[in-house]
Structure 1
């Protein structure tokens, strides 16, 4: 039984302690002494396993009296105190192990755990620098600690080192983006990226990062130099075209801007937000250079499957806001070909037709929409308005009276209905009803002002 118990103890100890603590000598040279140490130590392990840390510590104190220079005892003290959040006692015991055995990595890890739990990041840096001697992976921890202690210059240097050696990681890239928001660190990063481009001329991401940094600091000429270099080194790079598009647009070179845009928009590599930005910039350019409108129309086609942003509609609304009614009609109709259920776009289109006084078209579209959406009062209003403007007052009165009952909590629309009804009955020569509806409209306007 005693041999089996010793075997259990050995297995437990191997699982719980560093090999360096338990295998200092060859097994044949170890003299087993039955001094009570194993019994107390086994009890300490048992009590710790059931989270009875005070009892475990009592047993370890007995072990300590028997073998006061055994680092395993102090290591176990540290683990029990750490579990109890007695951080100073835990740290002191882990530190004692490192003094006895400087190469015991797990004792250093214990000290690191204490520092991290107590947010003593400066001391944690000292310990992690030691841990890196055992395992280079701890450089990732050191990066985080530099960020926590706002040592951004050291963090940036280490991030670049790790990126070059192991490749980029999402976490490091987030850290880097945060650091580079501060202009103080951008110069060093630009120099680093220039060196990386020299060393790895076919690595696209370095060019992209450098172009972004130059653009952020309004160094457009340098950004363009990098974009051209990227295009030369990697002719197939879609990212080079993003910067070249902007360059050509700034130089009022529409032809080359269109060429760059037509390479960027179908690219699967370019983020949708960037594509939308390019289209918006080209839209503004086209407003002042109408000859490129066919190119704008082609560009819109690249966004047909975009579920998040209805590009043709947004362009229609852009022209609508600028009172460019004909262009608004064109792009809203383009949008509605595949999105006829978009009630907002239908209403904007009807208003644009009203502004251009295309009343027969207005009547035709409004009547068709009444059939599809019989409870939408706006469509009755536009049909009635169109009939009034074409002199069909009887039809206007009929359609307006049918629609006004659907107006709910929309005072402005109710006022417009009453004005058009007054116009219709004025045209029909019914002075009484004319006065009725105009008076009602005036009352609503007065009430609205209050």
Structure 2
């Protein structure tokens, strides 16, 4: 009876109060159980925990969602006392301390979670982000990392690739056992390296050196922006997109480019504003719409509004 009531309580809280926020925090658990739905994942995760743990955990997520990080940290530390080996709690603490810019403490919790689950992509991504904030490299911490785990190396290569660090990704892939995943990723990494090298040699596409008279048409703006997106050259991308929007304010692609650049620069609120404005100009371009929704989801996740993030993720149509 108690278990049934507990499950009803979890389902009710998830659906009526936290929306998708709790599910984001437990996405790593769901990865290991692909045949159960998200609410079941939450129920299974919590069914062995006391009401005290559940209350503190849910409250911590609530506080994180409203950016009350100090309170969220205190609650997660209480959860840690109740279950010191809970890797989800370790990862949450790593992310919270990252938000508070307490990087050494964040690194400790991120490493604990990663060593407990070396095959977890999200733990790897968080750990790399924390190192980058401190101008540290994974290679300098190699001795304490699970480099003997092929899945960890695959995840690390993927994280590097997504961050535009193509040569670093290639270096890791060369040390990783061959698999269908590594072969597919290697092709993408090689393409990215080629694109980055082409961009370096094609100085005419540099955003800082091309004036408006040379790139006044929609097609020329798109060509410049596409080149910058292929090479992850987002440092001046928002300026180029803004320039394009001055002349062509009804072109949704330019809104996407500016929103993408803002996300990469850590300006999620600016990204949300420009991307949601650009949504008004869509005319049936499903592929571009998917890109908008993904960037909006990323931006809302960055400000801990997972309800809106999941709303946009649900809008993404597969196959485009």
* TM-score normalised by structure 1 residue count: 0.28
Structure number with greater CO (CA < 8 Å, separation at least 6) is: 2
* TM-score normalised by structure 2 residue count: 0.37
- Give the number of the structure whose alpha-carbon radius of gyration is greater: 1
